[in-house]
Chains A and B, each alone.
Chain A
Amino acid sequence: MSRKWISTKTTAVITASLIAIGALGVISPAKATIDCTNASADGNGCTVLTVNTFGDVIEPALVSDYKKLHPEIKLSIKKSDLDALNGTALYTQCAAGGAGNPDIAAIEISYSGFWRAYPQCFTDLKTMHTTDGNKTANDIKGQYLPWRWDQGVGYNDSVIGIPTDVGGLQVAYRWDLFKKAGLPYQRDAVSAAWNTWPKFIDFGKKYMAKLTPAQKKANIGFLDNVGTIYAAILNQGTQKYYQNDGTDAGKLIYKSNKQVKLGFDTTIDAGKAGIGTRIGQFSSDWNVGMTKGTFAAMLAPAWMMDYIKGQAPDTSGKWDIANIPGGGGNQGGSQLSIPKGAKHKQEAWDFISWYLAPAQQLKVFQIYGLFPSTPSLYTNADLVGFKDPFFNNAPTGKIYASGVQKLKPIFEGKLERCIDMAMGSAISLVVNGKEKVPAKAFAKGLSDADKCK
């Protein structure tokens, strides 16, 4: 469910391979002997459900749970890169009348605004009924955060996607490195010390001042990439590039929205302060840097916690999670949809409604750290009381819940992804020293965004 922005490029692009997941579950004698582990096509009582996804939307532990419940269903999961999946594949499949559609497609939040404009490409989930309990999308709507739900509602009010996780956004930091630098390092003290973005930048400057010349020469820094600040600030407002004017499409306001300028300016300030290492996220340097302490802090959506654990297992216990400056944050999250050309709509709907129900979302959070989109869990003792030893026993559930609850609903429009790319490129121009005048870069960002129309 992660927003792998710059994408786990390498692996994702090539290994768009079919991954058969899941150890053989213990099959209860009553359900008897069907085994679809190696099924590659329908038949012999097996149904192969094709799922096109990216990152960690579909988690293996839950897949093997589902297998125990439904041994007759084989989930054939194909992972690919975000743009390749949400852009190229779905778009061309829909243009070809649904040919080649998978049974289930994951749609990332930065594309949800886009797909809302093309509900004809999806099955209206209001018309689907679960096999157990006869539930439609309308019946389960109440379980989810309303603004997350709305991101999956098409222009014609059909429901095209059910929300998976909420990104949430906090700061993951290396408390041991903070301590070494003589800075506050306990999570409450850290959260208090950087409760605004200017204070965050100052904090970073103090960290940088403690670095030795050799460390600076080795590109060691405070934050992995200052570019991430832009999106964080944008999501703390009430609107981004669009204003919700009651129409389906919304009204483009990126030129007049002060939040866009604020995000841009603050990011440039951070860049000028030199607190970032300028490593591209999801690059090989970034992955290695996590282990080696090349950076001491990174803005981390909930799904990032599992990524850090996977990349830097040796740093267990040295990380902690503090509140994001400015209060509240979100990055990433996705929806599960059933494209129009899906062949097993009923089985797909049964799986989606099971997989995204609160009980399963809680389990995903406990194992993988992805934060649930079902508010009933935000007061659940298992979630609020959850402590993660990797992150110095931080109560991650509580921290992310408080951040998510501060969020205001934001209207996501059709050109979201394209405008994001244009503004990100403008920021990069300044941060990497290719454009000395920030105002010029900002103007270029806006004019490139104009070309998205």
Chain B
Amino acid sequence: MSQSSVARRAPKPPSPWKPVKQSRKLSNPNAVVSLNGRWGYLFTAPFFVMFLIFGLAPIIYSVYIAFFNWDALGTQDFIGLDNFTALIADDRFWNAMVNTFDIWLMSTIPMLVLSIGLAAVLHNPYLRGSTFWRTILLVPNITSVLAIAIVFGQLFGRDFGIVNDIIGALGFQHIDFVQGTQSSHIAIASMIVWRWTGYNALIFLAAMLAVPGELYESASLDGATKWQQFRYVTLPSLRNTITFVLIVGTIGGLQVFAEPLILGGSYNGGDSGQFSTLTLFLFDQAFVAYKWGYAAAIGIMITLIVAIVSVINFYITRKLAGEKK
């Protein structure tokens, strides 16, 4: 908006509903009348209307029903905080929480390392066909999660999966990936890593391209090796990006749903809930047990957990960045 002094002096922005009298106060014919008042509301309205209907209203509604024993087809009884106290005492909830964090850790750390590594490779100016490689990195990300989960489910099959074929050829006992707790988490984490590494690599690549070339020049003049340049020039300038990727990854990682669903084939997250995650548990309570109030309470807890973890993430990475400055 070109805010001329003329516009700032205007007592009121013109109403979008009335025709603007162009001649009034326009001493400078080139000045544009500020239209960012009500017109702004009108132009942003589609988003806010959608957000109110599909975003805010369901959130408020689910907070409301979290205090009820809510049977959508039957009776709805107000029970105060009972859903929350029952949830705190529910070992299935804590099991899902531990599983979620375990899967999150096992997927986030390898993904960060891999994607920074990939970005460094793509950053190499001597790489041929760089556009091709950059494009192809996004393919896993646009593949349907269900398709990924089906393929990975077969890869990790106990008797006839390729991974176990290799393990067997090396002379080891086959691993039952789905039945085991830790092994099922590995299977799920590998799906997440496969899917998101390329996407994050592109974000890191963008950040690397923004690092001024002079820094590398002076570093190499000082006799820094390629590795030293990466370690002392590239990595420090990626801190903000790492924070961003971590926070976005946390929000997504703590809501992992489709991968465990397809791996187990039902909402219980494995025969003994060995890879039940928070969102899977929420869905199970809402649509297998039909306890909508309870499910809403789980949803609120997930929101709180994501918020807490994001704040911790933020402060840790900011502190790290601050120390180095």
Q: Do A and B come from one complex?
A: yes
A217: chain B residues within 8 A (beta carbon): 173
A181: chain B residues within 8 A (beta carbon): none
Instruction: Judge whether A123 is part of the interface by a CB distance below 8 angstroms.
Output: no
Does B146 lie within 8 Å of A13, measured CB to CB?
yes
The CA of A283 and the CA of B271, in the complex, are separated in Å by: 13
Interfacial residues, chain B to chain A (CB-CB below 8 A): 72-74, 86, 90, 92, 144, 146-147, 150, 153-154, 157-161, 173-174, 176, 178-179, 181, 262, 264-268, 271-274, 287-290
Does B154 lie within 8 Å of A284, measured CB to CB?
yes
The CA of A160 and the CA of B92, in the complex, are separated in Å by: 34
The CA of A283 and the CA of B157, in the complex, are separated in Å by: 8
The CA of A7 and the CA of B265, in the complex, are separated in Å by: 6
| Closest A-B pairs by Cβ, 6 of them | A428-B271, A9-B265, A95-B72, A88-B287, A428-B272, A285-B159
Does A7 lie within 8 Å of B290, measured CB to CB?
no
Does A121 lie within 8 Å of B73, measured CB to CB?
yes
Does A284 lie within 8 Å of B160, measured CB to CB?
yes
| Total of A-B residue pairs, C-beta within 8 Å | 106
Does A285 lie within 8 Å of B150, measured CB to CB?
no
- Some 11 contacts from A to B, beta carbons below 8 A apart, are A9-B265, A83-B287, A219-B174, A280-B271, A283-B178, A285-B157, A292-B160, A418-B288, A421-B268, A425-B273, A432-B272
Instruction: Judge whether A39 is part of the interface by a CB distance below 8 angstroms.
Output: no
Q: Which of A91, A95, A283, A418 has the most CB of B within 10 A?
A: A283
Identify which of A94, A218, A284, A292 contacts B157 (C-beta below 8 A). Answer: A284
CB A122 to nearest CB in B, in angstroms, measures: 11
The CA of A218 and the CA of B289, in the complex, are separated in Å by: 38
The CA of A349 and the CA of B133, in the complex, are separated in Å by: 58
Closest B residue to A82 using CB positions: B266
Instruction: Judge whether A307 is part of the interface by a CB distance below 8 angstroms.
Output: no
Interface code A259-286, partner B: CB below 8 Å = 1, 0 otherwise?
Answer: 0000000000000000000111011110
Q: How many residues of chain A get a CB closer than 8 Å to chain B's CBs?
A: 46
A87: chain B residues within 8 A (beta carbon): 287-288, 290
Interface code A27-56, partner B: CB below 8 Å = 1, 0 otherwise?
Answer: 000000000000000000000000000000
- Assess A285 versus B266: contact at CB under 8 Å? Given A87-B287, A87-B288: no
Does B271 lie within 8 Å of A282, measured CB to CB?
no
Instruction: Judge whether A368 is part of the interface by a CB distance below 8 angstroms.
Output: no
Does A118 lie within 8 Å of B73, measured CB to CB?
yes
Does A282 lie within 8 Å of B265, measured CB to CB?
yes
The CA of A227 and the CA of B72, in the complex, are separated in Å by: 33
The CA of A94 and the CA of B86, in the complex, are separated in Å by: 28
Does B146 lie within 8 Å of A417, measured CB to CB?
no
- Assess A284 versus B265: contact at CB under 8 Å? Given A219-B159, A279-B159: no
A424: chain B residues within 8 A (beta carbon): 271
The CA of A448 and the CA of B287, in the complex, are separated in Å by: 16
Does B73 lie within 8 Å of A421, measured CB to CB?
no
Does B262 lie within 8 Å of A9, measured CB to CB?
yes
Identify which of B146, B179, B262, B287 contacts A278 (C-beta below 8 A). Answer: B179
- Assess A425 versus B287: contact at CB under 8 Å? Given A91-B72, A284-B154: no
CB A111 to nearest CB in B, in angstroms, measures: 10
The CA of A419 and the CA of B158, in the complex, are separated in Å by: 28
Does A434 lie within 8 Å of B272, measured CB to CB?
yes
Does A280 lie within 8 Å of B173, measured CB to CB?
no
A94: chain B residues within 8 A (beta carbon): 72-73
A417: chain B residues within 8 A (beta carbon): 288
B266: chain A residues within 8 A (beta carbon): 6-7, 9, 83, 421
A284: chain B residues within 8 A (beta carbon): 153-154, 157, 160-161
The CA of A136 and the CA of B272, in the complex, are separated in Å by: 45
Does B271 lie within 8 Å of A452, measured CB to CB?
no
Closest B residue to A287 using CB positions: B160
Interface code A98-131, partner B: CB below 8 Å = 1, 0 otherwise?
Answer: 0000000000000000100110110000000000
